[in-house]
Structure 1
């Protein structure tokens, strides 16, 4: 297990001084105001609020439609408390004083019950493979267990996130031919440590207590592991922002769970059309699903969008991704990280003739063109690169 729990704070500040200086930028502070408030323990994380919103009935004994109905009523209080917290009326200090006793069953319990139902048969992601993963491997290459391949303080993430308490889960519902984490996502997804909800909560607690600014659920892809992730929050007893570092290919039903617990969205917006997504990641209806989920997510938390510039895919993907962001998301609340670190990996490196446009690094001219287009659209990307 990769985790240096005794790494001094001064080490990461020396290695990533931008992680300190970024918070002097008033625009970043404003755009990431909710995340920042939770990060510095001024505001309660969303999962903490959900844990103290009482459920009318025992959610573990209800059917799906009954659960949805009970959740609808419980969420009214949750949304009020979230609004109050966003407005600065419900600080963490006030929250701790007013919500001393946890209810027997909460909105978070409802979400746990819903996640477990959606996982069997599995319809957590939009592949909707409908497989009982306790008996067969799903489209995500996973059975019903959760495999954690590593967890540590990540110093290579965007400046506002460093040091990030990153948990790498095995498995993925994509088959990207250039995947840089192909060992844990595609070739050996079930070779990590098998964890249950209590163990996962302990990992998150240790990361936070030893200096992590957040808990960063990544992979692979975290979506297939949703039931255990949500359940772990029932046992987590420290205030910490929850980050969903994802390809955003989950179902609307899963989004309805995530909006109760995610403080900062870190979506990977890969392609500007469905054809490139099918060709390079074997994903149907990619653009339709991801853009739908981005619209839902941006209304319920802060957001940093990642986009990796691919060689020869500037016109068809990068420019279209940026144009969609500018036309559909509130640019005064979103940051974008335009990434230039593509390198030929996995199947592209093994079979270069199949994807000849991807066998080279991205040209600097291509990246500069994407930067210039983002600037023309009014997209802020420099502070988090």
Structure 2
């Protein structure tokens, strides 16, 4: 399949992105990601593709049966992933040792995702609508996905640049300050309608042009899990998969993703449920996002993004940083304390966030992160 349009060429790479290849902190904290990037270890989706499912598994079985088989194969995945890491097996060697299975662990995940689509619970809104029949829930999406742009992003964190970024339309949040409001809220279907094979073509093209990773973002990638998983079935190249998300996924989605995502790039926006509801119209924020952070760190590397909002230092920034310090292994997480907030979309309707953060506010957040021993300075500079 020919690409629908060509990815833009990158004529330069930021100096700090080049330096990041040799940064000891990045290589230590993001060890799995760097093993794919520098040592050519197979990305996790390739491991999932060689694990054969039992011959008696039928993809049209009820979803409870499919989940039982899925969960029973996790030990097999863990054993093979441990072998890859322990022996330092490179991608080409991996393909010589193991063959892709005609009916693989990845195929099982795709089958489960398609069943979930019929009663959607990809995110914790759990709308329960049958998207295969045209009904829509919070994300307003049916079966196909909408990609608004895909390109080599040079504005991400240094270890990720150039990042092969795919911007999916629509979102399950309603952030009043969204800086991508045009694709997440106002015109979620304004991009190109794509299926799994189209997404695979995009990933191949981005990789050929020098991407260090495939960055699934938006909007929000979560409503597109079925197509993203299936795209990996058609991907024969080795590239780290990155999940750039608001992290409001359901536990079912986490179970589908943990065996194929190599590096997580979650937002941790709020330090309490009240601010989350007021500014993003989201319920149970801390419980759900916190749970997913705890799960994700056991299954790959992580860079957490926290955008500092004006007047939200005590209620959000400090509690978020404290939560990270108390709940996650600090030597395995990088935190990007982001200072680029600006009032966008409907932010001017909310007096507390109708300005940029002051330098004193930012310095207070930085000092607090230092006091907690959080790794943030190199990734946030």
**Class of the TM-score when normalised by the shorter of the 2 chains:** over 0.9
**CA 1:168/1:59 → structure 2, altered by over 3 Å: closer, same or farther?**
farther
Equivalent residue number for residue 24 of structure 1:
22
1:66 lines up with 2:61 in the alignment = no
1:189 counterpart residue number: 188
Secondary structure of the structure 1 residue equivalent to 2:102: coil
The aligned counterpart of 1:377 is 372
| Cα-to-partner distance string for 1:359-380 (whole Å, 9 max, x where unaligned) | 1111111111111111111111
Q: Deviations over 1:165-184 (max 9, x none)?
A: 00000010000000000111
1:138 is the counterpart of 2:137 = yes
Per the alignment, residue 56 of structure 1 pairs with: 54
CA contact (8 A) 1:141 1:186 kept: no
Matched, 1:105 2:103: yes
- Aligned 8 A contact 1:309 1:318 in 2: yes
Q: Following the alignment from structure 2 to structure 1, what is the Cα–Cα distance between the partners of residues 51 and 125? A: 32
Query: CA-to-partner distance for each residue in 1:168-225, whole Å, 9 max, x for gaps?
Result: 0001000000000011101110111111111110100100011000000000000000
8 A contact 2:148–2:190 mirrored in 1 = yes
TM-score (norm 2): 0.96
Retained in 2: the 8 A contact 1:269–1:321? Answer: yes
Distance 2:137 2:6 in 1: 30
The equivalent residue for 2:222 is 223
Give how far 1:2 is off: 7.6
1:74 Cα shift?
Answer: 2.1
Contact 2:51 2:101 in 1 (8 A): yes
In structure 2, C-alpha distance between the alignment counterparts of 1:333 and 1:345, rounded to whole Å: 33
8 Å Cα contact 2:7/2:150 also seen in 1:
no
Is it true that 1:368 corresponds to 2:353 in the alignment?
Answer: no
* Number of the residue aligned with 2:121: 123
Give the secondary-structure state (helix, strand or coil) at the position aligned to 1:151: strand
- RMSD, aligned CA: 1.4
Question: What CA distance in whole angstroms lies between the structure 2 residues aligned with 1:238 and 1:216?
Answer: 15
Where does 1:226-375 land on structure 2 (aligned, <5 Å)? 226-349=225-348, 352=349, 355-375=350-370
Contact 1:59-1:113 at 8 Å conserved across structures: no
**Partners in 1 of 2:295 and 2:334 — Cα distance?**
16
In the alignment, the residues of structure 1 paired with residue 183 and residue 18 of structure 2 have an alpha-carbon distance, to the nearest angstrom, of 31
- Hey, what's the Cα distance between the residues in 1 that align with 2:38 and 2:117? 34
Aligned-pair distance for 1:61? 2.2
C-alpha offsets along residues 17-65 of structure 1, whole Å, 9 cap, x if unaligned?
0001123221211111110111235200000100110011445222111
Q: Gaps spanning 5+ residues in structure 2: where? A: none
Contact 2:41 2:88 in 1 (8 A): no
Question: For each residue in 1:332-367, what CA deviation from the matched residue of structure 2 results, as whole angstroms up to 9, or x when unmatched?
Answer: 110000001001111123xx2xx1011111111111
Aligned pair count reads 375
Give 3-state SS (helix, strand or coil) of 2:12's partner.
helix
Query: Is the CA contact 2:170–2:185 (under 8 Å) kept in the aligned structure 1?
Result: yes
- Deviation track 1:92-146 (CA, whole Å, cap 9, x = no partner) reads 23312101x3212000011101111122211110000111223222201222220
Q: Distance in 2 between matches of 1:280 and 1:6?
A: 37
Secondary structure at the aligned position of 1:307 is classed as: strand
Query: 1:105 and 1:59 mapped to 2: Cα distance?
Result: 10
* Partner deviation per Cα, 1:227-279 (whole Å, 9 max, x = no partner): 00000000011000000000000110110011010000000000001000000
CA distance in 1: counterparts of 2:256 and 2:157, whole angstroms: 25
Tell me if the contact between 2:335 and 2:374 (Cα under 8 Å) persists in the aligned partners: yes
1:88 Cα offset (Å): 3.7
**TM-score (normalizing by structure 1):** 0.95
Question: Is the aligned partner of 1:114 residue 2:76?
Answer: no
